Amino acid sequence: MKCPSCGSTSLRKNGRPNNRQRYRCKDCGRQFMAHLPTSKIGQEISVSKSEPTTLSEAPKAGIAILLLDVENLKIDINTEQFLASISEYSLQVKMAFANWKNSSLSKYDAELFERGYQLIHVPEGKNSADAQMISMGAAIGRQYSDAKAVFVCSSDWLLTHLCNSLQNQGLIVYRVRRQPDNILSIENRNTLEVRDYSLKMATEIPPLEEFVEQIQELLQVENESISRRSSELSIIASLLEKRCEISLVRESKQSLSQVFSEEAEILVAKNIATEFVENEENIQSKGVDLPEINSRVEFEQEVMKIISNIPVKKNQIFVDLNLVDEKFMAIFGEDMGQVLKDLKINNDLENFFKFSPKFRVKKKPKSKEYQVAIAAQNIQTVNSQIISSPEPAENLPTVNSQIIRSPKELEQALVNIIEVLAAHDPHGYICISIIGTEFKKQYRHSITTILKQLKLSGKFLDFLKSSNAFNLKKVGKKYKVAIANQE
């Protein structure tokens, strides 16, 4: 006896289901059943190979039946057609078992009815559909005397009893189960042959050997296509060389593509050389020495000046880090990362600004880009270095030449301070005493003084409670505040 798959004779016995010997190939692992010996009567009446036959082979008589547990497995029309193609017998009877009052099956019953299924209703309950399927399936041979094959479509282990019962009646049983990754497994329990079907791709998954053969065929077809197109392109190139006289006097014969490649390389080299010479001449003619940065302190001061000179919208303090880097490079001829590297400081800009006490950094909403701002305690120092602000009118507190004239402006000033202080706080809540201290550093007046000048009754805490821009919470005996909708 030989393996039907690889032809090997290295076999071992592997069980005896239904009183038929099963074997397993030691080389390829294929399992198969022993073929029954042909009877002598069949040998006597068999037609000789040399005797010509005039009648075509008639199709096998019999039908195939499909039993579907809808509550466990759903199959579409493509899957059904694939199952029908597996059996040698015509698929004529299809039964679907489920509790059709279930809302999740409200539309599926109409689809199955249009496809010719008998809809078998079962009451609600665990394994109710399985029990009815076993009850009716076990007697399927008596109801349909010409039944030869049965598809049992369910992943429930309980249906194994039905499969055994049908096999004992001499029927061919196909067990259809759903596997992970939207794969359907169809096992012929008589021959133990298993075929896989992809529900997502609506096609059968071939065995590894067939898959390799298909890949090789595709590669061969593609190689032939490339060779054909390459031949056509060579003919066109040859005609173009003859008619346009592109092939000039050269040491060796070259193709059209080589000529174009050489010409392109020469042109690029000329452009690079010309650009380099022009840049050198411009630098020499200008004779301008770029400023240098020799310490971390100088670097931080220059960056703060750049941030302060970038125009922003009213009541906004953060600017894009990429924009700061561009302006820095325009002034110093190098980007900030390179300068940090030269100073032997961490050249990761985000980490530098994150851990520097003179800056605050945050991510832009719904973006991977960062924004940077000057820390609250350094704003006044930078302003004194780059501008000279006039005395504020009417002795009102000011910062950055902005005057607090209304409760709305006071509210926005507090929002700016909280936003800077909470840049590295995971929760965003800041103690109100810290906010009051930062406010006085920037505006040189306490919040209580501002409330009196704006003729607002109550204390700082009352103002925060009355505003929709803040969220308050009490931690112990202290109050903390955060910007609304920023948690």
Output the domain CATH number for residue 103: 3.40.50.1010
Q: pLDDT at residue 56 above 50?
A: no
436: buried, middle or exposed (CB in 10 Å: 19+, 13-18, 0-12)?
A: middle
* Domain-located, residue 288: no
With bands split at pLDDT 50, 70 and 90, how would you rate the model's confidence at 66? very high
With bands split at pLDDT 50, 70 and 90, how would you rate the model's confidence at 108? confident
Q: Looking at the structure, do residues 329 and 446 belong to the same domain, yes or no?
A: no
Q: Looking at the structure, do residues 318 and 408 belong to the same domain, yes or no?
A: no
Q: How many residues are listed for the chain in this entry? A: 487
What does the alpha-carbon distance between residue 416 and residue 409 come to, in Å, rounded to a whole number? 11
Q: Please report the pLDDT score of residue 175 as a whole number.
A: 93
Nearest partner of 118 among 84, 68, 178, judged by Cα: 68
Q: How many CA within 13 A on the CB side of residue 364?
A: 10
Q: Looking at the structure, do residues 375 and 407 belong to the same domain, yes or no?
A: no
Place of tokens 């902005």: 402
Q: Looking at the structure, do residues 375 and 433 belong to the same domain, yes or no?
A: no
Would you say 435 and 417 are in contact if contact means Cβ atoms under 8 Å apart? Answer: yes
Would you say 160 and 153 are in contact if contact means Cβ atoms under 8 Å apart? Answer: no
What does the alpha-carbon distance between residue 381 and residue 227 come to, in Å, rounded to a whole number? 73
What does the alpha-carbon distance between residue 378 and residue 420 come to, in Å, rounded to a whole number? 12
Tell me the residue ranges of DSSP E strands in 111-234.
Answer: 118-121, 147-153, 172-179, 183-188, 193-198, 203-205
Q: Give phi and psi for 306, each to the nearest 5.
A: -65, -45
Q: Looking at the structure, do residues 81 and 166 belong to the same domain, yes or no?
A: yes
CA torsion angle 35 209 175 102 (round to 10):
-170
What does the alpha-carbon distance between residue 410 and residue 417 come to, in Å, rounded to a whole number? 11
Whole-model pTM: value is: 0.37
- Among 47-56, 118-127, 179-188, 211-220, the minimum mean pLDDT is found in 47-56
Helix (H, G, I), strand (E, B) or coil at 389: coil
Element (H, E) at 63: strand 63-69
Q: pLDDT at residue 410 above 70?
A: yes
* Domain-located, residue 263: no
Q: Which two tokens stand for residue 55?
A: 């009648």
What does the alpha-carbon distance between residue 319 and residue 348 come to, in Å, rounded to a whole number? 18
Q: Looking at the structure, do residues 351 and 416 belong to the same domain, yes or no?
A: no
What does the alpha-carbon distance between residue 172 and residue 189 come to, in Å, rounded to a whole number? 7
Structural domain ending residue among the three candidates 172, 193, 209: 209
Task: Give tens-digit pLDDT for 442-479.
Answer: 777 888 888 888 888 888 888 888 888 888 888 887 88
Structural domain ending residue among the three candidates 360, 384, 408: 384
Q: Looking at the structure, do residues 125 and 198 belong to the same domain, yes or no?
A: yes
* Domain-located, residue 244: no
CA torsion angle 451 457 462 466 (round to 10):
-90
Domain of residue 95, residue span: 63-209
Would you say 51 and 41 are in contact if contact means Cβ atoms under 8 Å apart? Answer: no
CA angle (474, 478, 480) in 5-degree steps = 60
* Domain-located, residue 68: yes
Structural domain ending residue among the three candidates 141, 174, 209: 209
Q: Looking at the structure, do residues 103 and 173 belong to the same domain, yes or no?
A: yes
Nearest partner of 399 among 410, 407, 304, judged by Cα: 410
Element (H, E) at 68: strand 63-69
Work out the number of other CB atoms within 10 angstroms of the CB of residue 207: 13
* Domain-located, residue 39: no
Share above pLDDT 90 across residues of the chain, in percent, rounded to a whole number: 11
* Domain-located, residue 329: yes
Task: Give tens-digit pLDDT for 289-299.
Answer: 567 788 888 88
- Pinpoint the alpha helices (H) of 21-67: 40-45
Q: Looking at the structure, do residues 432 and 358 belong to the same domain, yes or no?
A: no
Would you say 463 and 451 are in contact if contact means Cβ atoms under 8 Å apart? Answer: yes
Element (H, E) at 373: strand 370-374
Q: Please report the pLDDT score of residue 394 as a whole number.
A: 39
90-98/118-121 β-pairing: parallel
Q: Please report the pLDDT score of residue 464 as a whole number.
A: 86
What does the alpha-carbon distance between residue 144 and residue 345 come to, in Å, rounded to a whole number? 86
Q: Looking at the structure, do residues 70 and 201 belong to the same domain, yes or no?
A: yes
Q: pLDDT at residue 279 above 70?
A: no
What does the alpha-carbon distance between residue 445 and residue 106 come to, in Å, rounded to a whole number? 71
Would you say 90 and 64 are in contact if contact means Cβ atoms under 8 Å apart? Answer: yes
Q: Looking at the structure, do residues 140 and 168 belong to the same domain, yes or no?
A: yes
* CATH code for position 372: 3.30.420
Q: Looking at the structure, do residues 353 and 449 belong to the same domain, yes or no?
A: no
Would you say 148 and 58 are in contact if contact means Cβ atoms under 8 Å apart? Answer: no
What does the alpha-carbon distance between residue 317 and residue 323 come to, in Å, rounded to a whole number? 14
* Domain-located, residue 217: no
Would you say 96 and 119 are in contact if contact means Cβ atoms under 8 Å apart? Answer: yes
Q: Please report the pLDDT score of residue 188 as a whole number.
A: 92
264 versus 436: which is more confidently predicted? 436
Report how far apart, in Å, the C-alpha atoms of 216 and of each of 28, 200, 209, 219, 226 are: 21, 24, 11, 5, 15
Number of domains in the chain: 3
What does the alpha-carbon distance between residue 188 and residue 95 come to, in Å, rounded to a whole number? 20
Q: Please report the pLDDT score of residue 356 as a whole number.
A: 80
* Domain-located, residue 18: no
